[in-house]
Each structure stands twice: as C-alpha cells, then as structure tokens.
Amino acid sequence: MANPWFESVAVARARARKRLPDSVYGAIVAGAEAGVSRDDNLTAFDELGFRPVTAGQTTGIEMGCSIMGQDSSMPVMISPTGVQAVHPDGEVAVGRASAARGVPMGLSSFGSMPLEQVIEANPQTFFQIYWAGDRESMSKRMQRARDAGAVGLILTLDWSFSHGRDWGSPSIPEKIDLKTALEHAPDVLRHPRWLLDWARAGRLPDLGVPNYTTNPDHVPGFFEAYGEWMGTPPPTWDDVASLAEEWQGEFMVKGIARGDEAKRAVDAGVTAISVSNHGGNNVDGAPAPIRVLPEVVDAVAGQCQVLMDGGIRRGSDVVKAIALGADAVLIGRAYLWGLAVNGQGGVENVLDILRGGIDATMRGIGVQKMSDLSSADLIVPDGFSPPRT
C-alpha cells in the first residue's frame, strides 16, 4: 500500500485530482467567471517576501492563541465548506482531525453530516448559516445549533450567485439515483479508489443537507436549499444586528472586504470578521483577502477579532496574514485536498504541514511569538493593496 503521507498541500491537491471524479474535483476548485479572484487569492501571497536572519534564529515558537473565545494550538481554523462527495466520513473526519490537532472548526449549514455528530467529534465547532429562508427558519437552525453545543455562529455573506464560469461549471446531480449513477459511471469508474472508499462505507454520496432542515422528517437536497437561499432577499445591516442579538454569543460575519463595512459590522455587534471573497466565488475581480486585510484591521481598531480566509496553502502564508494584522486564518480547499486523499489522517497531515511551516518561517525571521509579528517583518511591494474605502 502506498504511503498516504504528503509533504505539501500542493502534493495533496495533485493526489486529490487523481482520486476524485471530475465533477467533485471541479466543484472544489471552481471560481466565479474567469477565476481572476480565485487565482489572486494564491498569487497575492507570492508578492509578499521575508527578510530572514542567520545568527540569532529563535526556537520554541509560541503559536497558541484564542479564536472567538476558543483556545487554539495555532492561529488556524477550519473554514465551513460543503463536502458532500469528497469522503464518506465528511465533516466528522474533519472534526476529529481538527480536535486532534487542537484547532476549532466551522461547520456549514450545507454540510453533509449532522451537526450533532460533528460537535461530538470536535466540541470547538462554530455553526455557519446563510441568510436563507424566512426569519423563523433561521431562528430554528440557530436554536438547533445552540442545543447541540455550537460555540459560536458564522453568518456567510460573501456570495452573489455568479454562476458563469469560463471553463464550465461542474456537473452536479440533484440526487444520486440509478439514472444519475449511470450518467456519471464513466467518470466514477476512472477513479476506483474514490469509489472503493464509498463501497467500504456501504453507501453512495448523499447530496442532502441535514443541517439546513427545520423539519426532522425531511432532509432537503443541496439544490432545494440553494434555491431557497437564492430566493431570499439579502439582509441589511439591521438584519445582521438583529441576528447577532438573537444569538447572544460569539458571532462572525464572513465576507468583509472593505474598511467601511468592517465598521458597520462592529456597530452591528459582531465579535469577529472573516476577510474573504468565498474562495474567489463572489464577484470576480474582487481583490484577494490578504490585500485588503490591513484596511479591515485598521478600521475595526481592535473592537473585534479579524480572521482571513483565502489562499492559505503553507505555514508561511499564515505568518504573512498574522504579520498584516489577522488574529488567525481559516483554511478551506487545503484541508479538502487532505480529506480527499486520506480522510481524517489527511486533514491532520495538512494541519501538521501548516504548523511546521509556521515554525520554520518564524525561526527563519527571528520572531518567537506570533503576537510580535508586524508588517515590518515582511517585504510589501508598493501598490499591493487597493485604495481604501
């Protein structure tokens, strides 16, 4: 049996590309329209540099922190994503892996595994919701999360339903039945290891979203839930404030990319902001989160935590984000590659890669505590960030 260990996220992605059916892989890598923002999320990090030291390198790097009231072994958190067909163990495997490595996680309301099972796997789980459906249904989802022990709420707002992709959107069925199984058979049969994972689990991928339902007798399909979300009028900042007040706990708004909106989020009562463009799936042409991070950090002036989500592939990326003012980062695609390749062990592998990269980078630049990082530790080119709002 081949060694499942991988030494970088890039290697995990390459292996996932071979293992996953094209439709599943395509859903993970997808970005809006031409993919300008998706690609900038990665390349923006390449524009930032370090000035390493030689003698005087540090040891015993201190990277523990608090993320929305939860102790974390490093400034990394699992971002909420839907993983319906990546691996049979889904978010439960992610929960076990993140708990084993001492980091909190976010669980999507469009996820594949019931939130009660995921919270049992990792008690440091934040539940993510969309502004979808009527207010009563949102309140019911929030109450279910509260009853299950969710430690906080994440409201995702960085999505504008842009579906036109220059390379074509992946083919995702509404449900898996005999007809769709036959249609996708040629693709699936080219990826026998993925198929074997599901065969061992004794089931086919379930495209239902059990955390979105408010009716215990009905689990809606992904597209049923997505359609309701599309048909829901977007919220105002008063709506956000009302939701935060109802939750009465740690409350993050995900998708902030402007200083003026960061101030509005603080006024609405959020305890954390995620600087994000939904992995390049919002408005194409929006800048990478790392570019607008300093603007958002300055705007909130310490009144809430600021996390950054987008483009993290190695520990040095984490260090760059912290140096530009983030309290922590969220990772999405990176852990999905690990999950696809080796389930729980693959997610743990990714988190170990990030931890090792943080340690090596901090040692190399001569900084022991992550709290001591600043932009002075980076080489930031002129024009790296857009004009501020």
Catalytic positions, please? 278
Q: Give the distance, in angstroms, between the CA of residue 42 and the centroid of all CA atoms in the same chain.
A: 14
Report the distance separating Cα 343 and Cα 341, nearest Å: 6
> What is the DSSP secondary structure assignment for residue 268, as one 8-state letter?
T
Report the distance separating Cα 289 and Cα 42, nearest Å: 10
Strands (E), the chain: 49-50, 65-67, 70-72, 76-78, 105-107, 125-130, 152-156, 251-256, 272-276, 305-309, 328-331, 378-379
Q: Do residues 66 and 306 touch, judged by C-beta distance below 8 A?
A: no
> Buried (b) or exposed (e) across 97-133, using 16+ Cβ within 10 A?
bbbebbbbbbbbbbbbbbbeebbbbbebbbbbbbbbb
Number of residues written out for the chain: 389
* DSSP, residue by residue, 134-196: -HHHHHHHHHHHHHHT--EEEEE--------BTT------SS--HHHHHHHHHHHHT-HHHHH
